[in-house]
Structure 1
Amino acid sequence: MKKKNIFSRFLVALCLFAICGTSSFTAQNISKFLEIEGIIVDKSNNDRLVFTDLVIKGTNISTVTNIDGEFLLKVPTEHSEGVVVITHLGYETKEIDIASFKGSTKIELTPAVTTLDAVSLVARPSNAKELVLQTLQKKGRLYNNDNTLMTAFYRETIKKRKKNASLSEAVVKIHKQPYTNYRKDNIELVKARKNTNYDRLDTLALKLQGGPFSNIYTDLVKYPEYIFTEEDIDDYEFSFDESTNIDKKLVYVVNFKQNPFIKDPLYYGKLFIDASTLALTNAVYSLNVENRHLASQMFVRKKPRKVDVYPTKATYRVKYRIQNGKWHYAYSNILLSFKVNWKGKLFNSIYTLNSEMAVTDWEITNTKVAKIEKQMLRPSTILTDQASGFSDPEFWGEYNIIEPEKSIENAISKIKRQLKKT
């Protein structure tokens, strides 16, 4: 059976020094704001909690914790007396007054105990596959059906083994289409910076084609065709895992994997479905890369003839946030790992590409289709080098970003030192 390249937009171009795409800048009106920062941990064992949501109550202003559990949230002064709502899957929700933040604050979340009462046991569907189908069919009622303009922060890193070789960051505007129509989302570039160490790439420029579009396409509710189509839904096995909860609401956990007789690379992972509404709240999944040849065909667009390239890992994460009774795309993360073998060379190279995008604010707009302007990105865009922004400590201004993890902080510090020398 021939399968289409699901996620064919997650492509890696291996080529010599070729600079593609665009990088545009627009002026921003800097308003006064205050910054609150800290770290979020599990109260029972002090483990740092990754991808935790922080939202200013009554607004759409938000951020997420990084891989070290750290966060920085820029709060407009008009909300300085407000409250931050902190949620994490499987933990009790916590609300903290913004005025109580002093310096870097350590916040402890309590693991939530999930109990299935008799009503829940009766209400839960007996067939996990049918539950998934019901979830995909409910997007018109459960998800935002207005044209929405989202502000988001995007970060993309490329590492050769454990050393950073390229770092890109951008603030974008996502022109999010209603979940009930088939128009694809558009992305507008607001501000960006990038630095690439081509020496570390050994004259091989490893580029993630698609940039922010790759992350927006992980929105399984808007783009279910990239994983679960009517044609291939039967190629998967579905089963229930232990339930969990978020914000004191029961969440079903559904495992899925490809049937053993399917040879083409498909996906496996977990879907987290709100028990009361059947809305998809989170998804964590990976591509089966056991078949190197077929998996390589899904990702590699261009490479030198003397090089063999194949993925060793491809993992995805997407999470949604609810506001005013409607769910919307909030965050996604993509991690791709590739092995590069040069013919005639004894050692191979391992590259890791990681991209993440977090929605930090949004508003309903009457604009049906985004205007085609110079700063509009295309799905084939690769952000160009623009290192100057790393020397400006106020580069992002009032825009919320994902706090950089330690390795990225070190990379930014090194870029700053290099810029000072030049």
Structure 2
Amino acid sequence: MQGRAYRKLFILQCLLWILSSFYEPCTAQDPAGGRIQISYSQLIDTLKVIHGLDFAYDALAINADSVILADPADFSDKGRIVSFFENDTVEVNIIGSQVIIGRKAQKDDPLPGIITVSGTVVDAASLMGIPGVNIFVEGHALGTSTNLDGHFVFKIPATMAGQHLLFSALGYQGTGISIPETDTTIEIGMKSHSIWLPEVRITSVDPLRVVKEVERRSKANYSSDHMLLTGFFRETIKQNGHYVDVSEAVIEIVKPPYNRISELEKVRFVKGRKGSETSAMDLVRFRLVGGPYYFSQLDIIRNGDFLPKAELAQEYKYSYNGMDEEFGKPVYRIGFKPESDKEGIYYEGEMRIDTVSLGMVSIDFKMTEPSLKRSRSMLIKRDAKRFKTKPYYARYLVKYRPWNGIWVLSNVKGELSVRIYDRSEKEKSVFETVSELLITDFEPTTGRIRFPASEYFRPAYSLSDQIGEFDPDFWKFYNVISPDEALESVLKQRNPTE
């Protein structure tokens, strides 16, 4: 017993010594009682090793670089974990092997409970479910979306009871309800519509001028502050029509200001779950890498090349495709396709642009057929000689929603399909992947938020490999995209305690 204790202490000392080489010197001794200065980041890494715990924390609750005084003799005492982090503004909950560190409710407010509003959004005429409906609390950051069946589950703080819950979808009249005081199941019917405008207005729309204005007004229409986004990310892989891998995760994203294009998004993995129908994929090990990292950057306003740049030659030509409605406001539908498609990678699709603010509301685009033939080296990172791979479909959808006079990223979805031929076995296989990022909450920050480098989700990471033991108690506090029936059955096979 004594030997194990000595070994654990030795590991701790080594860990602290190694970590100190990656941070500014912060191990000064406290003359009062043998305590040391240690950053929250170092402390979390140390406690992970000693107790085998996972930590999930709100980046606005604690600054990972902040330094505290702590006695190393207390690190091996699991009962002291709460005391290291908790204060007047921070609370700590330990659920199983998960330590959750978050912001504490104000003393003059009761601890808010959760109201769960669930149900289905349907077309009022056909009664068919409507996928991808934007659902959000008016004037607040909280939001979610319907799944492919039109189903949703939305967890809302009880303090928002009585406020307006809005439903918006392209091609439908927006609608809303008052948030009930108790858990409620509802069905929302949305009426489709068509917008008629006088011919003089229709013919006066210059699509090139519209998209130039989107670019020119981008700094006014999007945040000039750093923002901390909470997101739900799901990626699925089907082989020949059957799910072979499903991964879901809660992530945090530091979104830089839109006037700092050179500064990249940072992503931190918080918690996840996964499932599969088969023990292994047939023929080939097909993996997606970098999903949350790349999708956090699929922000057309910050990182896209579909808008004309004054200093560059125009690569796309634009067309006016009519009007529609989103968020109760008329939007322009502006189509685009490449001027030339002989080399490089190009896309074609349609933008929806708010007619008043000229902010991008959404953009739906796919890789052109000629570009798909040239895309193999970009989309396929590693490929054994035994297999011949051919991407044949790549489509993306990016959505924004209004908040306090600006537009905020709300949803990113990507679909990729690849044909694989096994030269040895003379067999063909089709892989279809769908990845989706839903921003469920966000908050502007007055300063830059830093995640510890050790917690970054990096481009080479596979989400499925990052997911460990599933904790349903942790998962139930987050808003997610409800799985459809087929997905639900796959996840329950892997996580039977749900």
Report the TM range for the smaller structure's normalisation: 0.7 to 0.9
Shift of 1:228: 6.4
Report which of the two has the higher share of helix. 2
Assess if the C-alpha contact under 8 Å between 1:152 and 1:172 holds in 2. Answer: yes
Instruction: Report the counterpart of residue 268 of structure 2 in structure 1.
Output: 188
Contact 1:24-1:190 at 8 Å conserved across structures: no
Distance 2:429 2:389 in 1: 10
Alignment check: 8 A CA contact 2:115 2:181 kept: no
**Residue 376 of structure 1: how far off its partner (Å):** 2.2
* 1:55 CA displacement: 0.9
- What is residue 407 of structure 1 aligned with on the other side? 486
Q: Distance in 2 between matches of 1:259 and 1:267?
A: 11
Q: Which residue of 1 aligns with 2:67?
A: none
Among 341, 349, 359, which residue is 1:279 paired with? 359
Moved more, 169-178 or 89-98: 89-98
Partner of 1:109: 190
Give deviations 1:152-196, integer Å, cap 9, x for gaps: 111111111211111111111111111111211111121122345
Q: Please, which of 326, 332, 335 is the counterpart of residue 415 of structure 2?
A: 335
Secondary structure in 2 matching 1:282: strand
Match of 1:301 in 2: 381
Conserved 8 A contact 1:227-1:267? no
Aligned residue type for 1:65: T
With the length of structure 1 as denominator, give the TM-score of the two structures: 0.85
Aligned-partner SS, 1:409: helix
How far apart are the structure 2 equivalents of 1:232 and 1:344?
A: 47
Question: Which structure has the greater CA radius of gyration?
Answer: 2
What is the CA-CA distance between 1:219 and the residue it aligns to? 1.0
Residue in structure 2 matched with residue 19 of structure 1 by the alignment: none
Q: Deviation string for 1:263-285 (max 9, x for gaps)? A: 44410111111111211100000
Q: Please, which moves more after superposition, 255-264 or 69-78?
A: 255-264
Pair 1:130 & 2:226 matched = no
Match of 1:42 in 2: 123
Q: Secondary structure at the match of 1:408?
A: helix
Q: Check whether the contact 1:25–1:189 (CA below 8 A) recurs between aligned residues.
A: no
Aligned to 1:95: 176
Residue of structure 2 equivalent to 1:28: 100
Structure 1 stretch 333-342 or stretch 186-195: which is displaced more? 186-195
Counterparts in 2 of 1:271-420, with a 5 A limit?
A: 271-290=351-370, 293-383=373-463, 384=465, 386=467, 388-389=469-470, 392-417=471-496
Matches within 5 A, 1:250-289: 250-259=330-339, 262-289=342-369
Q: Which fold has the larger relative contact order, with Cα–Cα distance below 8 Å and residues 6 or more apart in sequence?
A: 1
Match of 2:218 in 1: 139
Q: Offset at 1:362?
A: 0.9
What is the distance in 2 between the residues matched to 1:189 and 1:386?
9
Distance 1:228 1:189 in 2: 34
Q: Is the contact between residue 284 and residue 318 of structure 1 (CA under 8 Å) also seen in structure 2?
A: yes
| 1:222 to 2:302 alignment | yes
Task: Give 1:74's aligned amino acid.
Answer: K
SS in 2 for 1:327: strand
Change in 2 beyond 3 A, CA 1:274/1:145: same
Moved more, 319-328 or 137-146: 137-146
Report if the CA contact (8 A) 2:162-2:181 is conserved: no
Residues 364-409 of structure 1, C-alpha deviations (whole Å, 9 max, x = no match)? 11232523343221233212153531xx543413211111122211
Number of aligned positions between the proteins? 393
1:241 aligns with 2:325: no
- 1:51 aligned to 2:132? yes
> 2:34 — aligned with what?
none
Unaligned runs of 5+ in 2: 1-52, 57-98, 103-111
Offset, 1:200: 3.7
The answer to whether the Cα contact below 8 Å between 2:276 and 2:494 also exists between their aligned partners in 1 is no
2:63 aligned residue: none
**Secondary structure of residue in 2 paired with 1:351:** strand
Change over 3 Å in CA distance of 1:233–1:47 after alignment to 2: farther
Distance of 1:109 and 1:101 partners within structure 2: 23
- Counterpart amino acid of 2:100? Q
Alpha-carbon distance in 1 for matches of 2:125, 2:182: 22
Q: 5+ residue gaps in structure 1?
A: 1-22
Deviates more, 1:284-293 or 1:73-82: 284-293
Cα deviation, 1:224-280, whole Å, max 9, x if unaligned, reads: 248866788633231111211123322111111223653444101111111112111
The residue aligned with 1:78 is: 159
Identity %: 24
- Per-residue CA shift, 1:22-67, capped at 9, x if unaligned? x964133696312110110111222321111111223211101111
Contact 1:154 1:356 in 2 (8 A): yes
For the residues of structure 2 that align with 1:256 and 1:103, how far apart are their CA atoms?
A: 43
**Residue 241 to residue 225, structure 1, CA distance change in 2 (3 Å):** closer
Instruction: Provide the secondary structure at the position in 2 that maps to 1:205.
Output: coil
* Cα distance in 1 for residues equivalent to 2:212 and 2:179: 41
> For 2:302, what is the secondary structure of its paired residue?
coil
Alignment TM-score, normalising by the size of structure 2: 0.73
